[in-house]
A = this chain, B = another copy of it.
Amino acid sequence: MTERLILSLDAMGGDQAPHVVVAGIELALRLHPGVHYLLYGDEAQLGPLLECSRDVAAVCTVRHTAERVSNDDKPSQVLRQGRKTSMWLAIQAVKDGEASGVISAGNTGALMAMAKILLRTLPGISRPAIATVLPSRQGDVVMLDLGANSDCDAQNLVEFAIMGEVFARTVLGLARPSIGLLNIGAEDMKGNEAVRTASALLRASPLPIRFHGFVEGDDIGAGTVDVVVTDGFTGNVALKTVEGTARLYAGFLRDAFHGSFLARLGYFLARPALTRVKNRTDPRRYNGAMFLGLNGVCVKSHGGTDDVGFANAIGVAASLVTRGFNDRIKDEFATLQFGAPSSAAVASHR
């Protein structure tokens, strides 16, 4: 690794690639300066885009490949036949130490499969998880897993809890983040075997984590805890239910404001305030799902995002690298394994 932050990009991943990728870098020049990019993709498409923006070209190295992963490709298929794709090569750059993190807006299943094979999980972690940040009444909330693992046992959930806690501490900068296990009631007897056992394990953990106990679906938006831990099936459904409900209410409001002349005038007067609500909950602000638990930073951008969203995903990857997220994770799991926390882990809990 070099002193300068280098990120590798799957320039061909996403609905509007490579255009949005290059436009995202352009925005990131200002928002997240000092990053150099390895752009994996089709030179014939990338060349003209970079010619239009000398500033972007100055921070990019194009690495040509004609192959790409499509959204219909199955993970098993790309693992066998996709080793020359822009996605594979971009991850390979992290494995080889050429880049500190990789970002792709491509096929999520393929990205996770390739990242697991190439980067492997960190010591002590059996399965990586997908995490994201969501808005709540109390500020940002981290939720994981969001779909990497449909079936999870108690040990998986405990690992997710530790990773989520470290993320909230190192990247969100919270001193003592609280952790909640997503369940269908607050009482001990509620839920399935996995959440009940995970709760017992977290209460008995030698790590000084602040375990709140069980939380329910409405606690996500209420911001009852800083980190919401769940299996990938429930987490994926919950995340998409948040998105769908937000769209439903936005639609109802749009209908209402178009309903009469007075309502339209009311909207006009309240517009600056309503725009703040829109910005506060803008999905692009929360773009960039993190694959946590791997030997290397890997961020998945939404396939349909625009330049603002992609620039945000770049920011997420840059934060994970510069805050040393993976080193902290290693410290935590070393503590669990050997009993005595390393000095770094102790310091970070002060």
Q: Which of A210-243 contact B (CB under 8 A)?
A: 216-222, 230, 232-234, 236-243
Chain B residues with Cβ below 8 Å from A244 are 217-222
Interface pairs (25), CB distance under 8 Å = A135-B248, A137-B251, A147-B184, A150-B191, A150-B192, A184-B237, A217-B236, A217-B238, A217-B240, A217-B244, A218-B240, A218-B244, A219-B244, A220-B244, A233-B234, A238-B238, A242-B245, A253-B253, A256-B270, A257-B273, A262-B270, A265-B266, A266-B267, A266-B273, A270-B270
Chain B residues with Cβ below 8 Å from A174 are none
A252 located at the interface, meaning its Cβ lies under 8 Å from any Cβ of chain B in the complex: yes
Contact check, B236 vs A252: say whether CB atoms are below 8 A apart.
no
Chain B residues with Cβ below 8 Å from A147 are 184-185
Contact check, B247 vs A221: say whether CB atoms are below 8 A apart.
yes
**Complex: how many Å from CA A147 to CA B183?**
10
Closest Cβ neighbor of A236 among chain B residues? B184
Chain B residues with Cβ below 8 Å from A252 are 277, 280-281
Closest Cβ neighbor of A237 among chain B residues? B217
| Supplied contacts A217-B237, A260-B273, 5 more A-B pairs, CB within 8 Å | A216-B237, A259-B273, A262-B272, A263-B270, A269-B269
Chain B residues with Cβ below 8 Å from A280 are 252
Number of identical monomers bound together in the oligomeric complex? 2
Closest Cβ neighbor of A261 among chain B residues? B269
Contact check, A221 vs B245: say whether CB atoms are below 8 A apart.
yes
A350 located at the interface, meaning its Cβ lies under 8 Å from any Cβ of chain B in the complex: no
**Complex: how many Å from CA A218 to CA B240?**
5
Of the residues B184, B237, B262, contact of A182 by C-beta under 8 Å: B237
Q: Which of A145-192 contact B (CB under 8 A)?
A: 147, 150-151, 182, 184-185, 189, 191-192
Contact check, A266 vs B270: say whether CB atoms are below 8 A apart.
yes
Of the residues B216, B218, B241, B277, contact of A256 by C-beta under 8 Å: B277
A218-B243 contact in complex given A150-B192, A253-B277, C-beta closer than 8 Å: yes
A246 located at the interface, meaning its Cβ lies under 8 Å from any Cβ of chain B in the complex: yes
Chain B residues with Cβ below 8 Å from A268 are 266
Contact check, B151 vs A192: say whether CB atoms are below 8 A apart.
yes
A4 located at the interface, meaning its Cβ lies under 8 Å from any Cβ of chain B in the complex: no
**Complex: how many Å from CA A241 to CA B136?**
12
**Complex: how many Å from CA A248 to CA B223?**
9
